[in-house]
Chains A and B, each alone.
Chain A
Amino acid sequence: MNSISRRKFLKIGGATIITATALSGAAKTVVKGAEKLNKQKIKGIQKIPTFCDICFWKCGAIAYLKDGELWKIEGNPLDPLSKGRLCPRGTGGIGAYNDPDRLKSPLIRKSIRGEEKWVEVTWDEALAYIADKMQKIKKDYGPEAMALFSHGIGGNFIKHTIKAYGSQNISAPSFAQCRGPRDVGFKLTFGEDIGSPEKTDIKNAKCIVLIGSHLGENMHNSQVQEFTEAVGNGASIIVADPRFSVAAGKAKYYLPVKPGSDIALLLAWMNVIVMEGLYDKEFVAKYGFGFEQFAAEITACTPEWAYAETGVDVKVIRESAREMARYKPATLIHPGRHTTWYGDDAQRSRAIALLNALMGNWGRPGGFFYPQSMDVPSYPYPEYPHSEKEKVDNPGKKYPFALETLTTGIREATITGKPYPIKGWMVYATNLLHALPNEMETIEAIKNLDLMVVIDVIPSEIAGWADVVLPESIYLERHDDLNVEWWREPFIALRQPVIDSPNEQKPNWWIAKKLAEKLGLGSYFPWNNIEEYFTYRLSKAGCSYDELKKNGIIPGAKQPIYFDEGVPAEFPTPSGKVEFYSLQLQQLGFDPVPKYKRPPEGPAGYFRLLFGRAPVHSFSRTHSNTLLKQMMDENEVWINADIARKYGLTDGQSVKLKNQDGIVSNKIKVKTTERIRTDCVYMVHGFGHNSKGLKSAFLKGASDAQLITKYTMDPIMGGTGMNVNFVTFLTEA
């Protein structure tokens, strides 16, 4: 089995469908139905390996059936991501099967959009309706007028259908609303992004710096396993966060940084490290570009200067900087993941990249490793139709360093019709009303559509606005694309059904194939069944599908992942070096070295709204899961105890939050705590559902998304900074 180097294939996510020459003589065969296991209720215990989908981490799991009924799910010990231990969401995966609010049948709306009134239809009727509208859109506006929003590996086949139809306007909130700034900041500096799963060598780090990143609450399994392993090994932890996070409880240095001043803190840390000569001089001399100019730019950014901006004690800034230098190169400044905060996020991420560069940790243990993957050839499909039009999301490259398609760019084009109209949305497994800022803009865009389709497992808020809702099987009931993972050791993982869908739900591959056939694009799905597709790809890779079915995982040969092991030290930037000074930013009018600009404050009596994750939930997708809702069925608003006293608020009291634009939230319980600064409040993202179909989560807690009416665009890469909203408290019922 071959491995290919990451730099040959810089692609996030799992196996990507790439066009190739058509398979000759591809037969078009009607698929009678999605896979049915027809499992008899076999007595005793059955164990079936698969991989999880409660978040996108794709941990290997083993599902247990007891007397033919789902019992429990454990980690697959063969899986390099979970190493046999799932996170609480994965362990709670059974609760997605039992979720009483699941979508059960295809639905077509019977009143105006957003009223959530439906007629149950057959799959044939639903797909015929969609195909008919899509053909009309293609005829009237061209195929590019159809956009797809898709999150997770499950969407690979519907992406293929949309590309075959002729549109490349395919996007996910995971870029412009999440990790985009980080990936751009690192790519501008090292020439490579961070990837997912992140190539952070946490377990070997001797010093770990978290900036707003709340590992442990943010439950990306391998990251948390490695973080606690490092803590157990005595790693020195430094946490900068306006909130005393779980990770802060493990920290030697905790810095309660003023929200929005992170760049000032980063510049001051680098100032100390450069001025005191504590950086990895050999690494910088060998691989650095523009270090002298960089050093000159940050001379004034002393800890004393930063104190006024960040509120962090001068001595603590200085000592924590020295602490980082003490453990270099095994000091990891974590790049974070959800990084769309203030609109200067690519520059903040670049500052984080530069601080890492000063540690000389790239390609070295305790810093960043080079993930490896197995060479599993793509399925040979016909070439996608060529489009004369550029993607719609970023006309004129307004955001010059956008690495991926911008969700909000597609939304804007849908509203304005510029650079060309978008008339159809297909939304797969992403609740855009909770993921994108300013939900009114999303609704305004939807109102301009001729077709709005949602494919999901639960009736999310965005599903409520659809013309057609297609119910997908949950991960325990379906196959998805192979996960050909990039990780410390390469491997292939299989998602396979362990139990039948209880109602009319179907897997994405089936939906995508049937829709393609209805669109006259059946030649793009030359295989009859997804197992034929697996067998083809695996046989080309010299692997056995039977082995994969049995074990869930096929491990690849271990490859070098550090410079010392033989990975070539190459940096695919314009200079071929680590860019301390970025000429490509400078040429486009951006700061070549990150500069700190104080973010605007909110009105008097308002508090900055911060949001984050809980370990038992994923986005807004798990609140009706029968197990996970028992762990946490609503969110709370964290308010500093002194502020709570001043406003007469008591712990557990219900309040509503009103933002700077007069938007009022649903009721939310107050958590009075010493664990947050006085100038901000915090809540876990994704609660406060108002979709009528989500009966078990309806109006429980408040929605941060509803309060995020304002957002600040990152001019470098088009990310939407969302920590720019402010709220006050309404105590009246």
Chain B
Amino acid sequence: MARFAMVIDTKKCVGCMDCVVACKTENQTPEGLNRDWIAYESIGKLPDIQMEIRSERCNHCDNPPCVDCCPCGASHVHELGGVVLVYQNKCSGCKACIAACPYNARFINPEGYADKCTFCIHRVETGLLPACVSVCPAHCMYFGDLENPESEVSRLLLSRKYHSLLPEAGTKPQIFYLV
């Protein structure tokens, strides 16, 4: 079984939003609504400021509250790689998943269903990288299988310090930020 994950090197990320634009064109997301975004976090006062820039999206959690709470069976874990997806035709647009997601990763598509990052599973299943990863001019995003110890993502997590978002929420997020 594969376990897909994304590793993002915050040391290299410049927050250029290419990942956001690429997702928009690849997945034709509605105007003004995005499946990924850039977060800035800075602390301190000049000249001693620490800043982290992150490309964020659905964390494709191992313990996804959006799936547990879905009354329609629309939110589900895909058979490949543990990717969290939504069956658009089953979704009633009730927003329970939006309330349950601690990462604010979902929105209601104007067509009525819950929408979010799919890890570009349509690309991954044909051997391509997710659109955001494939365009990143900073080369700061990595995608792969954590079950494979030889994968780039596995090796990066072994060799570098990293964190994930809101680990205390118990969701077991699968996006890791190298620091």
Contacts and interface: CB of A to CB of B under 8 A. Distances in A.
Contacts of B50: 249
A254 B47 contact: yes
B49 A92 contact: no
Contact of B14 (A71, A228, A677): A228
Contact of A216 (B11, B15, B22, B45): B15
B134 interface: yes
B32 A246 contact: no
Contacts of A316: 47
B139 A249 contact: no
A700 to B, nearest CB: 14
Contact of B18 (A87, A249, A250): A87
A651 to B, nearest CB: 13
A358 B5 CA distance: 46
B106 interface: no
A715 interface: no
B56 interface: no
Interface residues of B, number: 35
A94 interface: yes
Contact of B21 (A91, A246, A254): A91
B21 A628 contact: yes
A219 B11 CA distance: 17
B1 interface: no
B61 to A, nearest CB: 27
A630 B34 CA distance: 9
Contacts of A250: 11
Given A85-B137, A254-B49, A630 B24 contact: yes
A249 B52 CA distance: 7
Contacts, number: 123
B73 to A, nearest CB: 31
A88 B21 CA distance: 6
Given A615-B15, A674-B45, A87 B137 contact: yes
Contacts of A626: 31
Interface in A221-246: 221, 224-225, 227-229, 231-232, 244, 246
Given A88-B21, A675-B46, A74 B14 contact: no
A217 interface: yes
A318 to B, nearest CB: 15
B89 interface: no
A275 interface: no
A255 interface: yes
Contacts of B53: 246, 249
Contacts of A73: 25
A631 interface: yes
A710 interface: no
A216 B42 contact: no
A72 interface: yes
A232 B11 contact: yes
A718 interface: no
Interface in A575-601: none
A627 interface: yes
Given A75-B135, A231-B12, A674 B44 contact: yes
A353 interface: no
B98 interface: no
A675 B18 contact: no
A250 B24 CA distance: 28
A522 interface: no
B44 A91 contact: no
A256 interface: yes
A86 interface: yes
Given A87-B137, A244-B51, A94 B14 contact: no
Given A92-B25, A249-B51, A674-B49, A219 B16 contact: yes
A224 B14 contact: yes
Contacts of B137: 82, 85-87, 219, 221, 224-225, 228
B46 A674 contact: yes
B152 to A, nearest CB: 13
Interface in B1-57: 9, 11-18, 20-22, 24-26, 31-32, 34, 42, 44-47, 49-53
Contact of B32 (A86, A247, A249, A630): A630
Nearest to A640: B46
B136 interface: yes
A256 B49 CA distance: 11
A616 B18 CA distance: 8
Interface in A64-91: 71-75, 82, 85-88, 91
Interface string A93-136: 01000000000000000000000000000000000000000000
Contacts of A630: 24, 31-32, 34
B77 interface: no
A613 to B, nearest CB: 11
B138 interface: yes
B42 A615 contact: no
B46 A244 contact: yes
Contact of A244 (B26, B34, B49, B52): B49
Interface in B139-159: 139-140
A231 B10 CA distance: 11
A82 B26 CA distance: 19
A531 to B, nearest CB: 29
A232 B47 contact: no
B25 A72 contact: yes
B46 A228 contact: no
Among all A-B residue pairs, the 10 with the closest Cβ atoms: A216-B14, A249-B51, A615-B16, A228-B138, A72-B25, A88-B18, A228-B12, A91-B21, A92-B21, A88-B21
19 contacts: A74-B134, A82-B137, A88-B18, A216-B14, A216-B138, A225-B137, A228-B14, A228-B138, A232-B12, A232-B139, A232-B140, A244-B51, A246-B14, A254-B49, A255-B47, A615-B14, A615-B16, A674-B45, A677-B46
Given A215-B14, A227-B14, A249-B52, 14 more contacts: A72-B22, A72-B25, A73-B25, A74-B134, A87-B18, A92-B21, A224-B137, A228-B14, A228-B140, A232-B11, A244-B46, A246-B15, A249-B50, A630-B31
Interface of A: 71-75, 82, 85-88, 91-92, 94, 215-217, 219, 221, 224-225, 227-229, 231-232, 244, 246-250, 254-256, 316, 615-616, 626-628, 630-631, 674-677
